[in-house]
A and B are shown apart, each in its own frame.
Chain A
Amino acid sequence: MKPILLIVDDNLGDRELVRQALAEIGSAVGILEAADGDDALELLETLKREHKRLPDVILLDLNLVRLSGHEVLSRIKADEAFHSIPVVVYTSSQAGADISRSYHLGAASVLTKPLTFGEAEILFSNFVLFWLRPVTFDPAEKSQEPERAEA
């Protein structure tokens, strides 16, 4: 089963670049896209309602129209159904405050958008290795996981 990646970015070119980079490195990934935060939250709600498979990883831009990336992140983390989905912040910001706030809100990682396509290829090979390869785990194993409320 192919892992599913949700890309939340209001820049079409940026979403396309991620797709191209993943294609270039030959990674078989199912891709969902959302053009802004509201769009992303709506998509997640729909998947949940229809009992469809949720994304394995969310790639989230910070600088979004309407809801900010941080806002979207905290809403995902506040929702019982979504909070265990790793959210990787994908931003052009290198401001320390943006980065630390992302981690504080529960980001799994913060990646800086690369300046060239060559760099994007390298970044996404690592990204796939880190966040998409091990996502298919045994459901039986999942049930042995302690309840979050007890933790």
Chain B
Amino acid sequence: MNRATESELAPATRADESLWLATERLNLAQRAARFGIWDWYVTTNTIVWSPEMFHLFGLDSESRTASFEAWQSVLHPDDQVMAGQRIEAALQEHTVLDNDYRIVTPDGEVRWINSIGEATYDEGGRPVRMIGICSDITQRKQAEEILRTREEQFRMMFENHDAVMLLINPLTGDIIDANNAAARFYGYDSTTLKTKNISDINALNPEQIKAERLSALHEERNTFIFQHRVAGGDIRMVEVNSSPITLKGQTILFSIIHDITRRIRAEEHLQKTLVELTHSNEELRQFAYVASHDLQEPLRMVASYTELLARRYSSQLDDEARKFILYAVEGATRMQQLIDDLLLFSRVGTRKLPQESVSTEELLATALHNLQAAIDESGAEITRDELPTVRADSSQMLQLFQNLVGNAIKFRRPGEPPRIHVSACTLGQEWQFSITDNGIGIDPQFSERIFTIFQRLHAREQYPGTGIGLAICKRIVERHGGRIWVESVPGQGSTFHFTLGRLP
């Protein structure tokens, strides 16, 4: 087929070798660039197409001949009138024709064609001949269409999004565009906002702003924390995500602005609270130290001198006086115990927690060993299930088990040997330990209060103690991130539950 088409344009004789060569080169160029040449003799209405023209239109050059009708037959119905009018106009106004139109090939494929042509005219200004080229611009048109769709989508998103958005000239800082949310946030109408420069809004100085803008442009950084001034003069803390995008062939900065004023305030507030908390914790620790230390001085005086009084003058005193001295000694002893317990309690909170793997079975065994005297005396029967290994401070865990089992032994019903069972089960990501006894139980109305420091429910003569044990238990469990609570039926027994995080 190529041979045939070449021979069409080639001269009949090959006498003029250079002309033949030029034609050959032209044909090659047309194929490579996918453009065809058309030559229209207006007066006779005859048309000559180069072989590539047939190609472009998807026509068979052997069965079809070039004609105005052949051209019209491939034109897309929607572009037919327009394409004709444009030629008409070029001829009338003696201008260069440059038109894009669509064609439909016989296979049904739609192609975009760009046609450029120029006419020659006779003395009367009537067109004689028009010559031009057609090229396939389908790919470019498709790319443009995609780009147009994208830009349209972007514009839709930009305009209607609730997030505050600005388009900024990366070099000058001029605000090219601002969406509705931006107008609301900054308190200017969109038109006013678009006349502003970002330095009218950003509280930094212009040099700093420029440096930040360039770092966004070169994608060194994308997220910035700025202070933006809004219409009323208020300063808002903003987090800006800024990155370069290409719109209509231009690189611009697309910035999304988040108002983080409240977040920053909340963070500041939190930080302040944390500092205050640390401070008050430190004061509390100091207090516990002072209490344990300075309170002991006068106490020592009271205890030692009442003792001395009892020793030296006992024989000169009557029974009542001796009883008074006994009460004073008892009071001092109790005070001593309270101070010691207070110190113990405060230490649970201040010691750094060493986290080690501890077998709670071994801990329970040690606790029972420490409680042996009480167990023997009460005839307690203690059973347990299989107990897990946990990550915890072993000395605090020992104290926890010892306090809870010790309580279960201590608060027994008269004449009823304590029966105590220790168990553990998994509860989600936690272990739940339970210590069940058959003791006196706790009135549910006190089930919270028993965990507060120095809270007692019974007369000292009945059940001795300062009321610190469960407060210490609670503090230990909470320091390990767990909870402690009690379920009880008064007169039948209690179950103390506490949770600890499971080993990962």
Contact = CB atoms under 8 A, between A and B. Distances in A.
A139 interface: no
Nearest to B292: A94
A116 B301 contact: no
Contact of A117 (B297, B299, B311, B336): B311
A115 B300 contact: yes
B304 interface: yes
A118 B300 contact: no
Q: 9 tightest CB-CB pairs across the interface, nearest first?
A: A117-B307, A117-B304, A13-B301, A117-B308, A116-B303, A17-B304, A116-B307, A92-B296, A115-B300
Interface in B279-319: 293, 296-297, 299-301, 303-305, 307-308, 311
Interface residues of A, number: 14
Contact of A13 (B293, B296, B305, B336): B305
21 contacts: A13-B301, A13-B305, A14-B300, A14-B301, A17-B301, A17-B305, A92-B293, A92-B297, A93-B293, A114-B300, A115-B300, A115-B303, A115-B304, A115-B336, A116-B303, A116-B307, A117-B303, A117-B304, A117-B305, A117-B308, A120-B304
Contacts of A116: 303-304, 307
B301 A115 contact: no
B498 to A, nearest CB: 31
Nearest to B304: A117
Nearest to A119: B304
Nearest to B300: A115
- What size tier do the contact residues of chain B reach? 10 to 19
A17 to B, nearest CB: 6
What does DSSP make chain B's interface, helix, strand, loop or mixed?
helix
Interface string A18-30: 0010000000000
A106 B19 CA distance: 119
Interface of A: 11, 13-14, 17, 20, 92-93, 113-118, 120
Interface string B436-455: 00000000000000000000
Nearest to B303: A116
Name the residue in B297, B299, B300, B303 with the highest tally of chain A Cβ atoms < 10 Å from its Cβ.
Answer: B300
Contacts of A92: 293, 296-297, 300
A99 to B, nearest CB: 14
Nearest to B306: A117
Contacts of B336: 115
A11 B297 CA distance: 9
Contacts of A120: 304
A115 B296 contact: yes
B300 A113 contact: yes
A118 B333 CA distance: 13
Nearest to A118: B307
A11 B307 CA distance: 18
A14 B305 CA distance: 10
A135 to B, nearest CB: 27
Nearest to B297: A92
Nearest to B289: A95
A17 B297 CA distance: 13
Given A17-B301, A92-B297, A115-B296, 19 more contacts: A11-B297, A13-B305, A14-B301, A17-B304, A92-B293, A92-B296, A93-B293, A113-B300, A114-B300, A114-B304, A115-B300, A115-B303, A115-B304, A115-B336, A116-B303, A117-B303, A117-B307, A117-B311, A120-B304
Contacts of A93: 293
Nearest to B311: A117
A48 to B, nearest CB: 32
Contacts of B299: 115
A120 B297 CA distance: 14
Contacts of A17: 301, 304-305
Nearest to B299: A115
A1 B461 CA distance: 53
A148 B34 CA distance: 112
Contacts of A114: 300, 304
Contacts of B297: 11, 92
A115 B301 CA distance: 8
A75 to B, nearest CB: 24
B144 to A, nearest CB: 80
Interface string B118-129: 000000000000
B308 A20 contact: yes
A25 B109 CA distance: 123
A50 B376 CA distance: 68
Contacts of A11: 297, 301
A118 B336 CA distance: 16
